[in-house]
Amino acid sequence: MKKFKFSLDSVLSFKQQTLEALQGEHAMILLQVREQEEKLDSVKNNYREYNEEYCIRKAEGLTITDAIMYQGGLRALEADIERETEQLALIRKKEEEKRAEVIEAKKETSSLEKLKDKKLDIYQKAVQKSEEIFIEEFVVSARSRSTA
């Protein structure tokens, strides 16, 4: 009997390559999420430190000009926090979309692999059956020769 050949091997190969590419893209986006989270944490830490400095200076007594400068700095840092938070939300949305693509590609690849396994199982059963028939015919012909 001829060797097993899955008719959709090229499609399966393409789907696997697509899946690997999507997984790579997803990993890159996850890296961007982590980097953006670190960036946001850094900006929040800067805000906390600047605010603590402002509170200490305020308790010690500072000029109106200095107070206005600190308040302006705090507002600028708040705007930075908001901007970085929005950026993080965009990247997370992008990550969710890419994860959905990866899941869909996994489903497609998995269904093709299951189909291949089914076809291979059917092929192996057919090979086994043909071998059994061959052996049975061999035994029958050997017996008929020995009785003759």
Q: Is the pLDDT of residue 32 over 80?
A: yes
Give the mean pLDDT of 101-119. Answer: 95
- Asked if residue 67 belongs to a domain, the reply is yes
Q: What is the pLDDT of residues 119-128, one digit of tens each?
A: 999 999 999 9
Question: With b meaning 16 or more CB within 10 Å and e meaning fewer, what string describes 48-58?
Answer: eeeeeebeeee
- Asked if residue 80 belongs to a domain, the reply is yes
Cα–Cα distance measured from residue 104 to residue 93, given in angstroms and rounded to the nearest whole number: 17
Q: Is the pLDDT of residue 146 over 80?
A: no
- Asked if residue 61 belongs to a domain, the reply is yes
Torsion of CA 58, 63, 65, 68, to 10 degrees: 20
Instruction: Quote the pLDDT of residue 148.
Output: 64
Give the mean pLDDT of 110-122. Answer: 93
Give the mean pLDDT of 69-89. Answer: 97
3-state secondary structure of 6: coil
Give the mean pLDDT of 30-50. Answer: 97
Give the mean pLDDT of 99-116. Answer: 95
If you average pLDDT over every residue of the chain, what do you get?
A: 93
Domain range enclosing 95: 9-112
Q: In the chain, how many domains are there?
A: 1
Whether residue 116 contacts residue 12, with contact meaning beta carbons closer than 8 Å, is answered with yes
Return the half-sphere exposure (C-beta side, CA atoms, 13 A cut-off) of residue 116. Answer: 16
pTM of the model: 0.74
Whether residue 81 contacts residue 43, with contact meaning beta carbons closer than 8 Å, is answered with yes
- Asked if residue 145 belongs to a domain, the reply is no
Instruction: Quote the pLDDT of residue 7.
Output: 85
Q: What is the pLDDT of residues 3-17, one digit of tens each?
A: 888 888 899 899 999
- Asked if residue 147 belongs to a domain, the reply is no
